[in-house]
């Protein structure tokens, strides 16, 4: 059989199937394969009319169907399944071919896989694909990492199928070598967790303080979505809060079990940040909030703990609180994105990826779960200042967040006084205040460490490391 397919997709669960359809709709001849042949058959039966598909009933048939250099997209579960598929295909491919991993792989696995395939002369593109099944079909945000050569081979197809940003550019860019793409996708998911947690805290505080029904709060989010908080997640929140359960007629959000689950990419983000020494407190609080919500025994024991009696605001004060919460939500959101982008920058330094944060913000403007209007300005900030140490070093964002600090503080203090948990709001505010503080109590920490562990300390008035002999008060300069 003459190889006729421009590109192949193996793994036809929802994401893989929709990605194959997206490619076919853009005129590519797409070879498709799935370990369970029924999925291949059903794809062609249901969507064969959308373009040109070539059904492959084995890895061998897939490889035979692909024009060289072969372009194969692997869309299977992260971890061992991805390794198994690569192990099956690698011996069948030739030098110069390229394998794309479009799953939510851990970046360390991607680095390992890229190095192993490079030994065979096969390119590997670890590619974060965000936007869920709808995004995969109609235009995801695509975050590829790998060699320039590997990206060059895929760029036309990825550009054709990516989401389109507000200024008409495709939501795809080569983000760096080996694991850079999957790292950026991982942090995207971490920021997604923080975004969702902040929205949840805003909703919870408003409901607790005003007694409003979810549908009323949905209107608040709809209003916010017309301003600087415009984003996919705020839009989704308005939809969800306005929805009523078909079975009971109750607000949909009131019939859902309040234990949040997580597949793990947010957890990876925090684990990786700890290793890099980068504070991502907003993301961490979001991960812990999900975990704590699932600790039913802990929560059952906690119901007996005393707390403040709820107070319901009158309409005037409720309107004022709503404005304050908008400010707190926006400021906390900026902090969470700043922390995530700092983590990407630190990883780029650690792994030699030299990631362009303007490009990262650029591809997050369409297709992905955290797409948001303010990302245009985030991209502009890093375009104007590629070496920005933090998003908060951008004058525009520093001014906006600074302007929000009083309402932000009022929101955190009201929530604290009313016994409403706002871990992500509070963590973001603490991060902001830590950055502002000229002298931190870390000096005391150093003294304590030297006292009990002789771990030495540095001074403000002269270079070097020192240790005090606390028994004789004699200071020794520590050998460097």
Residues annotated as part of the active site: 185, 192
Q: What's the min distance (Å) between Cβ of 136 and ligand 6PG?
A: 8
In angstroms, the CA 446 to CA 457 distance is 6
Contacts of ligand 6PG in 111-130 (CB under 6 A): 130
Q: Which is nearer to ligand 6PG, 189 or 343 (CB)?
A: 189
Identify which of residues 171 and 426 has a Cβ nearer to ligand 6PG in the complex.
171
Scanning 364-394, the segments in alpha helix (DSSP H) are 375-384
What is the nearest approach in angstroms of ligand 6PG to the Cβ of residue 285? 15
Q: Which long-range contacts (CB under 8 A, 24 or more apart) does 451-455 make?
A: none
Site string for ligand 6PG, 245-284 (x = CB under 6 A): -----------------xx-xx------------------
Q: Please tell me whether residue 369 binds ligand 6PG under the rule CB under 6 A.
A: yes
Query: What are 173's two structure tokens?
Result: 């860019």
Beta bridge partners of 7: 30
Characterize the bridge pairing of strands 457-458 and 474-478: unpaired
- Three-class secondary structure of residue 369 per DSSP: coil
399 touches ligand 6PG by CB under 6 A = no
State yes or no: residue 162 binds ligand 6PG (CB under 6 A): no
Kindly tell me which of 28 and 268 has the beta carbon lying closer to ligand 6PG. 268
What angle separates helix 214-224 from helix 232-242, to the nearest 10 degrees? Answer: 160
Q: Which is nearer to ligand 6PG, 8 or 266 (CB)?
A: 266
Q: Which residue is nearest to ligand 6PG (CB)?
A: 130
Give the orientation angle of helix 232-242 with respect to helix 180-210, to 10 degrees: 40
What DSSP state is assigned to residue 91?
Answer: G
Decide whether 291 or 383 has the Cβ nearer to ligand 6PG: 291
Give the 3-state secondary structure of residue 27: coil
Contact status: 176 vs ligand 6PG (CB under 6 A): no
x/- site string to ligand 6PG, residues 181 to 220, per CB under 6 A? Answer: --------x--x----------------------------
**Whole-angstrom distance, CA of residue 24 vs CA of residue 8:** 11
- Quick check: 157 and 9 in contact, CB under 8 A? no
340 binds ligand 6PG (CB under 6 A): no
Q: Tell me if 131 contacts ligand 6PG by CB under 6 A.
A: yes
Strand 29-33, strand 7-10: pairing:
parallel
Name the site residues for ligand 6PG (rule: CB under 6 A): 104, 130-132, 189, 192, 262-263, 265-266, 368-369
């Amino acid at each position: 059989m003459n190889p006729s397919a421009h590109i192949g997709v193996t793994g036809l669960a929802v994401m893989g199937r929709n990605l194959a359809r997206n490619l076919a709709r853009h005129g590519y001849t797409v070879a498709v394969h799935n370990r369970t042949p029924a999925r291949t058959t059903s794809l062609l039966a249901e969507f064969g009319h959308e373009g040109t598909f070539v059904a492959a009933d084995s890895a061998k048939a897939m490889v035979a169907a692909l024009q060289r250099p072969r372009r194969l997209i692997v869309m299977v579960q992260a971890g061992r399944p991805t390794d198994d598929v690569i192990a099956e295909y690698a011996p069948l491919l030739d030098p110069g071919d390229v394998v794309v991993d479009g799953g939510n792989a851990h970046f360390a696995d991607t680095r390992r896989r890229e190095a192993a395939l490079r030994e065979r002369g096969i390119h590997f593109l670890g590619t974060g694909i965000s936007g869920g099944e709808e995004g995969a079909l109609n235009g995801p945000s695509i975050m590829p990492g790998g060699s320039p050569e590997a990206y060059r081979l895929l760029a036309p197809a990825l550009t054709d199928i990516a989401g389109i940003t507000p200024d008409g550019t495709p939501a795809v860019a080569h983000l760096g070598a080996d694991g850079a793409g999957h790292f950026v996708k991982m942090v995207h998911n971490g920021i997604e967790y923080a975004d969702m947690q902040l929205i949840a805290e805003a909703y919870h505080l408003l409901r607790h303080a005003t007694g409003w029904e979810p549908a009323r709060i949905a209107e608040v989010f709809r209003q916010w979505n017309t301003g600087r908080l415009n984003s996919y997640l705020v839009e989704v929140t308005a939809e969800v809060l306005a929805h009523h359960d078909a079975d009971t007629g109750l607000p949909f959000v009131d019939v859902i079990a309040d234990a949040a689950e997580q597949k793990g990419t947010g957890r990876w983000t925090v684990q990786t940040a700890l290793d890099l020494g980068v504070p991502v407190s907003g993301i961490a609080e979001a991960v812990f909030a999900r975990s704590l919500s699932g600790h039913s025994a802990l929560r059952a024991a906690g119901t007996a703990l005393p707390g403040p009696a709820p107070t319901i605001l009158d309409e005037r004060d409720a309107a004022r609180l709503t404005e304050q919460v908008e400010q707190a939500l926006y400021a906390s959101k900026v902090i969470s994105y700043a922390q995530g982008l700092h983590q990407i920058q630190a990883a780029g330094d650690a792994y030699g990826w030299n990631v362009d944060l303007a490009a990262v913000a650029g591809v997050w403007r369409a297709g992905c779960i955290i797409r948001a209007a303010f990302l245009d300005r985030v991209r502009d900030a890093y375009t104007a200042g590629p070496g920005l140490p933090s998003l908060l070093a951008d004058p525009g964002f520093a001014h906006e967040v600074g302007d929000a600090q009083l309402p932000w503080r009022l929101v955190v203090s009201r929530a604290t006084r009313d016994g409403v948990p706002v871990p992500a709001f509070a963590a973001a505010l603490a991060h902001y205040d830590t950055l502002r503080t000229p002298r931190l109590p870390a000096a005391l920490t150093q003294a304590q460490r030297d006292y009990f562990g002789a771990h030495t300390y540095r001074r403000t008035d002269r270079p070097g490391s020192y240790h005090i002999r606390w028994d004789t008060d004699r200071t020794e300069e520590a050998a460097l």
